[in-house]
Structure 1
Amino acid sequence: MSAGSWSPGTRVPGAAVATTAAHGRVVTPEGWPVAGATVTVLGADGAQLASGTAGDDGRFTLDGLPAGAGTLLVAAPAHAPKAMTVVVPAGPSWTVGELRLTRRGGTDVPAPGLYLLDTAHSTVSAKAHHLGLATVSGRFTEFAGAITVDADVARSRVDAEIVAASIETGNAQRDAHLRSPDFLDVERFPTLRFEADRLERGGAGWVLPGRLTLAGTTRPVQLDLSYLGSGPDPWGGTRAAFSATAELRRQDFQLNWNQAVGVGIAVFGTTLRVTIDVEAVLQP
């Protein structure tokens, strides 16, 4: 560097340099914290300006950053590293925001094979609007399923069965009503069933068109599906993780009970928002 010249991110020997403290959070694409992630900022000359480690909540702080251009690097075990060009602003504090790391799974699809759901580490939940004000959440506690990943991933299939009486919302009176003929009618229809025999690309993820049988009525249902990655477990197996969402109209499944409490206001909304998070174990 010649006398009188300066490049952003490079300290000038003997000069007082105002510094900035950077704050941010490292998370997965789904918003979960990535504990232990390393965050580093390099100056324009490639020298390290600051480095820190994300805590259990994914948050990090980098002190002593000079203003100017640089490169921000983020890395964590089992995740794909990330690099980006940044401009550190002048001032006492810089909010970096959320830095998202994807799990290193090798590909964007799991290895072919038969995967069985690990129900102890999976959830099937639903939310409904209540009185036009709040949201009531519930989940099914008993279910089973299989995911068959074909070598041609578009020909993969999913089969799942849910015990209707296992619905829980945290309120015994409401749970009994949901199990009654007004809703799930569990005595006549003890299970819900979902089947899909193809997979399609959709946006940044996948779309799973299938058929849901609920309270004796079968209707087409589309799940927006994300593959979250695969990896070994402590018992010598291989697991894959998936999340999916869908919106169901109660009327499509003849779940028409409701009670008006005012003009345009009913006890339960007409739409159910379903969220599914599963771990599945590859079978030998």
Structure 2
Amino acid sequence: MTIENAPTRTLGGVELPAAGEWKLDPGHAEVGFVGRHFMLTKVRGRFRGVDATIVIGEVPAESSVTAVIDITSLETGDQARDEHLKSADFFEAEKYPQAVFSSTSVSWEGTGGTAVGDLTIKDVTHPVTLNIDYLGYARDPWENDRIVFSARGKLNREDWGLTWNMLLESGGLLVSKEIELVLELEAVRQA
């Protein structure tokens, strides 16, 4: 039995979010990345400014996500590194203050799936694949319905023109080309 206007539903024996629009809660979201310094040390960064809308389809594979990322909100825990990443060597944040992700297809099975979408950084667009896990539903103390997802993906930063690097004496590179995307997302159901 389905309850009218319920925040979740059961499909294939699995509880999933109800169809409809869900907005990212930026105060409870982590849109981050991990790169390697000296090809050894993990360096983590995140974007504090993200606006995203998730549309859950009646059929999960008909779902979509669109996100606008404020490049100027980038932080890594080191101000000098943050400024370098925002400079013309990398993101050119003054000229290109936003990145945009727009899904083109979603596949779904059980509580996990894959979203393929176009990621535009510095007016350059390439496809990115995110592996998604639906972690569950909760109602907050203010009676807002919330859903929680984790997602991961990888990309080669040079595909978007983020090519700055230095060759090390040992022959390696100072900054890894491969970047891991790490997302922890909480979204609120819209009326």
**Under a length normalisation based on structure 1, what TM-score does the superposition of the two structures give?**
0.61
Aligned mates of 2:34, 2:109 — CA distance in 1: 24
Structure 2 residue 116 is matched with structure 1 residue 209 = yes
Map 1:217-236 → 2, pairs under 5 A: 217-236=124-143
Q: Secondary structure at the match of 1:174?
A: helix
1:262 pairs with one of 149, 158, 169: 169
Task: Find out whether 1:200 has 2:91 as its counterpart.
Answer: no
For each residue in 1:169-189, what CA deviation from the matched residue of structure 2 results, as whole angstroms up to 9, or x when unmatched? 111111110000110011111
* Aligned-partner residue type, residue 237 of structure 1: N
**How many pairs are equivalent?**
181
Report the residue type matching 1:136 in the other structure. Answer: V
| Map of 2:97 onto structure 1 | 190
1:64 maps to what in 2?
A: none
Look up the SS of the partner of 2:165 in the other structure.
coil
Task: Identify unmatched segments of 5+ residues in structure 2.
Answer: 1-7
In the alignment, which residue of structure 1 is the partner of 2:151? 244
Match of 1:116 among 23, 35, 58: 23
Structure 1: distance between partners of 2:58 and 2:104 = 14
Alpha carbons 1:132, 1:265 under 8 Å: kept: yes
Distance 1:223 1:251 in 2: 18
Cα contact 2:24–2:187 (8 A) shared by 1: yes
RMSD: 1.7
**Does the CA-based 8 Å contact 2:16-2:111 persist in structure 1?**
no
Which among 109, 132, 146 is matched to residue 39 of structure 2?
132
Preserved contact between residue 104 and residue 118 of structure 2 (Cα < 8 Å)? no
Cα distance change of structure 1 residues 157 and 181 upon mapping to structure 2, 3 Å threshold: same
User: Per the alignment, do residues 258 and 205 of structure 1 end up closer, same or farther by CA in structure 2, a change over 3 Å counting?
Assistant: same
Deviation beyond 4 Å, 4+ runs, structure 1: none
Residue 267 of structure 1 aligns to a residue whose secondary structure is coil
TM-score (norm 2): 0.89
Displacement of 1:215 after TM fit? 1.9
Indicate if the aligned counterparts of 1:241 and 1:278 stay in contact, CA closer than 8 A.
yes
Tell which structure's C-alpha radius of gyration is larger: 1
